[in-house]
């Protein structure tokens, strides 16, 4: 079970909350130079650009993709020059948007039957775009384009995965170009995106044995540090892998809970993971009531810590979270059609010695104790001290 961080904080006062038009789910949030981009589900299937100065004003709505947007990301360098917003969707295209004009600068299309695209990314030099498609017939494709010549893919790899490709991520800060991919076939793979021969493209393969919904790299702040990989399954479990894709930990969501009478928390689903600029790794978990928890491994031991809980910001499932470390903000979006903005997680201030005793509002998750009483209905004490040392922990992990 989770232990409580010495710098634990409860946040129940969002900085702002905006309801998006047409009651569409907020499915993805990306930070750009002057705006935050929020992708929404049907019926709008649009990308809304928010003014960064107040995080509430919608500057413009972009048309998105026919049939829906599956993924968004930002590329700091695109075609070797400017930052762009990249999106992909069910219409089988990858679009590079110019946030200044709200128009599509470059559009890349999957060939043939226009397979829906679930994931996309851009290499560090901005000269290679990768995308992963759904399974059509016998093929699930990783497609590659040179965005300077986007008419047709440069190459495609069809034998790396045998089912929908939910993640493609280029490694950052490495001397060689490596692509991480994950799929509903249960495989996590690294491959060489520059290799024409598919048989030679594979580098390492890890088999989790369950459908993978998302994955990413974990890299320390030191350039010489070894990369690791995280993955989340469709069953809301978390796994951590070595750079060679050897499974280090397979963590059931039931272990990501703190069944305490004063501060109960249970993880109903995993929202996303975050690799901070200082090299630390964090997990955003959610409850069915719309509460959010920041969970992290202890930096000097093998414990998992409940760092912070965010309440009263959402009333339904939270679909996405974006931690903007540059501006000290956390943005969350959910099925209640809300884009909510919070102060930066308290973990960012740990080095300054902040933490200790503080007032706590309990998350809204209900537990039943041995007497059959619903724990979250109790009248809790006004404050809860976390100054005593943590002595016990059920499971361990190294990161």
- Asked if the structure places residue 295 within a domain, the reply is yes
As for how many domains the chain has, the answer is 1
pLDDT at 297 (0 to 100): 82
Q: Which domain holds residue 53?
A: 3-384
pLDDT at 365 (0 to 100): 52
CATH code of the domain in which 217 resides: 2.130.10.10
pLDDT at 78 (0 to 100): 82
- Asked if the structure places residue 394 within a domain, the reply is no
pLDDT at 373 (0 to 100): 43
- Asked if the structure places residue 391 within a domain, the reply is no
- Asked if the structure places residue 182 within a domain, the reply is yes
How many residues does the structure list for the chain?
A: 399
pLDDT at 128 (0 to 100): 93
- Asked if the structure places residue 398 within a domain, the reply is no
Residue in 166, 176, 117, 164 with CA at minimum distance from that of residue 144 = 117
In contact, 247 and 204? CB cutoff 8 Å? no
- Asked if the structure places residue 132 within a domain, the reply is yes
Query: What is the rounded distance in angstroms from the CA atom of residue 392 to the CA atom of residue 91?
Result: 51
User: How confident is the model over 31-69, as pLDDT tens digits?
Assistant: 998 999 999 999 999 999 999 988 989 999 999 899 999
pLDDT at 359 (0 to 100): 39
Residue in 85, 84, 49, 88 with CA at minimum distance from that of residue 66 = 88
- Asked if the structure places residue 389 within a domain, the reply is no
Residues in the chain, pLDDT under 50: 349-360, 366-399
User: How confident is the model over 281-328, as pLDDT tens digits?
Assistant: 999 999 999 999 999 987 766 678 999 999 999 999 999 999 999 999
Residue in 318, 359, 321, 352 with CA at minimum distance from that of residue 335 = 318
DSSP state of 8: E
Q: Is 23 helix (H, G, I), strand (E, B) or coil?
A: helix
Pairing of strands 304-310, 3-11: parallel
pLDDT at 399 (0 to 100): 37
């Amino acid at each position: 079970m989770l232990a409580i961080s010495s710098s634990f904080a409860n946040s129940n006062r969002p900085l702002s909350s905006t309801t998006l038009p047409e009651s569409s789910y907020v499915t993805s949030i990306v930070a750009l130079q002057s705006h935050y981009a929020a992708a929404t589900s049907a019926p709008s299937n649009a990308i809304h650009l928010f003014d960064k100065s107040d995080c509430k004003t919608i500057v413009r709505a972009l048309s998105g993709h026919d049939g829906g947007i599956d993924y968004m990301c930002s590329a700091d360098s695109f075609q070797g020059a400017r930052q762009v917003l990249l999106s992909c969707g069910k219409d089988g295209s990858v679009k590079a948007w110019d946030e200044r004009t709200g128009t599509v600068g470059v559009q890349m299309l999957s060939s043939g039957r226009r397979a829906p695209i679930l994931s996309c990314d851009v290499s560090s030099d901005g000269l290679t775009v990768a995308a992963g498609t759904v399974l059509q017939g016998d093929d699930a494709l990783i497609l590659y384009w040179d965005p300077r010549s986007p008419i047709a893919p440069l190459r495609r790899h069809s034998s790396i995965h045998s089912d929908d490709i939910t993640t493609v991520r280029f490694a950052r800060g490495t001397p060689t170009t490596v692509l991480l991919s994950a799929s509903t076939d249960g495989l996590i793979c690294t491959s060489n995106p520059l290799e024409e021969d598919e048989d030679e493209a594979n580098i390492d393969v890890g088999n989790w044995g369950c459908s993978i919904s998302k994955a990413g790299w974990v890299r320390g702040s030191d350039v010489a540090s070894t990369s690791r990989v995280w993955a989340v399954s469709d069953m809301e479990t978390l796994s951590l892998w070595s750079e060679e894709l050897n499974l280090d930990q397979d963590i059931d969501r039931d272990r990501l809970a703190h069944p305490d009478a004063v501060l109960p928390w249970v993880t109903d689903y995993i929202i996303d993971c975050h690799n901070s600029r200082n090299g630390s790794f964090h997990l955003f978990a959610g409850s069915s009531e719309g509460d959010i928890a920041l969970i992290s491994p202890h930096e000097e031991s093998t414990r998992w810590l409940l760092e912070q809980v965010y309440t009263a910001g959402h009333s339904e499932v939270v679909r996405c979270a974006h931690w903007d470390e540059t501006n000290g903000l956390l943005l969350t979006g959910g099925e209640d059609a809300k884009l909510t903005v919070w102060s930066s997680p308290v973990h960012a201030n740990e080095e300054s010695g902040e933490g200790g005793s503080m007032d706590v509002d309990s998350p809204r998750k209900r537990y039943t104790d041995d007497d059959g009483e619903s724990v979250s209905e109790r009248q809790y004490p006004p404050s809860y001290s976390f100054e005593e040392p943590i002595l016990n922990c059920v499971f361990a992990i190294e990161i």
